[in-house]
Amino acid sequence: MANLKEVKERITSVVSTQQITKAMKMVSASKLRRAQDKIVQMRPYSQKLTHILNNVSAASDGASDVVFAEKREVRNVLIIPVTSDKGLCGAFNSNIIKAGNQTIARQFAGKNITILPIGKKSFEAFKKREFNMVTDYYQLFQDLTFENVRNAAEYAMNSFIAGEYDQVVLVYNEFKNVATQEVQVEQFLPMAKDDSTEEKTTETEYLLEPSRKYIIEELVPTSLKIQFYKAVLESNASEHGARMTAMDKATENAGELLKELRLMYNRSRQAAITNEILEIVSGANALEGK
């Protein structure tokens, strides 16, 4: 049985760890509230903008004349995995890295792969592999604003138009609730056609002012940037939810461990007291026998 000093030191260590995990849970809960508000406000705007774009495309000549919808033979692929800058958030980061690797292996085997990491953990993970890297945007979460995210989106969009990449794929965690985040592997470019929207809107006539070309040229880039920003916000909210859940579980585990250690401490202390009593009794008996 462990001695009292060792057990006491372990109890002190676990209590200290539990205090840290409680504090981290509270911080994550505070950040989650703000991040959740942002994504809840962003979703309706993003969905409505996408719906309008699909309506305009379906009501006329489709997306055939939209440069961002141009489909070509896939040789060069840009993968954008979105992780966090920090750990201690369960499987949040490892799920994205795993999904990114699986996507490359299953869908793009033999293609020229370039990684544009967002988040320090993504940067560190894919840096170890022999991929081309675009490292200008992996620190976006240090100052998460639409302007900074827009720069990353514009890089992907301009590179696609220039023919540097034939396909751009986003890999991120979609926020469901505090305990649930779902990994999404989403084709960012070329734009995917929404057949369901087209079926609903082909019989409707639209008057487009000043012109369809102008609306498409203005609306499509804006929609893509919003879509990109939404993915980053989803990941940000998911990160804080995952960390809050992980720290809550760690706090509970620390509590269970403390119960075991305190029971062990009491048993060790009881055994030590019993041994001392036995030694005293044995000494007294020995003196009486003289």
| Strands (DSSP E) found in the chain | 76-81, 112-115, 132-133, 167-177, 180-189
90: phi > 0 → left, psi -120 to 50 → alpha, else beta; which?
left
Taking the C-alpha atoms of residue 272 and residue 73, their distance in angstroms, rounded to an integer, is 77
Taking the C-alpha atoms of residue 1 and residue 89, their distance in angstroms, rounded to an integer, is 35
| Strands (DSSP E) found in 20-166 | 76-81, 112-115, 132-133
Kindly name the residue from 89, 178, 220, 237 that is annotated as catalytic: 89
- Residues 136/118, Cβ–Cβ less than 8 Å: no
> Does residue 234 carry a catalytic annotation?
no
168: phi > 0 → left, psi -120 to 50 → alpha, else beta; which?
beta
Return all residues near 125 (Cβ < 8 A) that are at least 6 apart.
Answer: 83, 93, 97, 117
Active site residues: 89
